[in-house]
Amino acid sequence: MSPTELQDLIEEATYDHAMGETDAALAKLARAAAAAPGSFEAWHAIAEINFSLRRLDAALDAAQRAHSVRPDDLFINTSLSRIWMEKGDKAKAEHFGAQAKIQGWKEILKNPGTET
């Protein structure tokens, strides 16, 4: 699968999810992740959709895979914090929440004047 085909598939899955077709979205994302196991975007989308469905174990698995690809990403650290909080592990939730805050501060330092 080419990078363009991968991106198109992830975008189609995102659209499916927005239209309430979560099974179709997850099937497309599973194909994307199988074709490109290092696709941060595919794993993060899988995590977010599963989180929205309250499938916390599946969300956590996908979020951890995304995190292994891009551990310094603000959004995946936020996702992991939310998942761990819902699973009842406050310490892990706080750890990933702190990581997200640090990444946010780094972005502000890289782009001064963009904070609100």
Q: Model confidence over 32-67: pLDDT tens digits? A: 999 999 999 999 999 999 999 999 999 999 999 999
**3-110 falls under which CATH superfamily?**
Tetratricopeptide repeat domain (1.25.40.10)
What number of helices (H) and strands (E) belong to the chain?
6, 0
Nearest to 34 by CA among 25, 44, 42: 42
Q: Quick one: DSSP state of residue 114?
A: -
pTM score of the predicted model = 0.86
Amino acid at 111: N
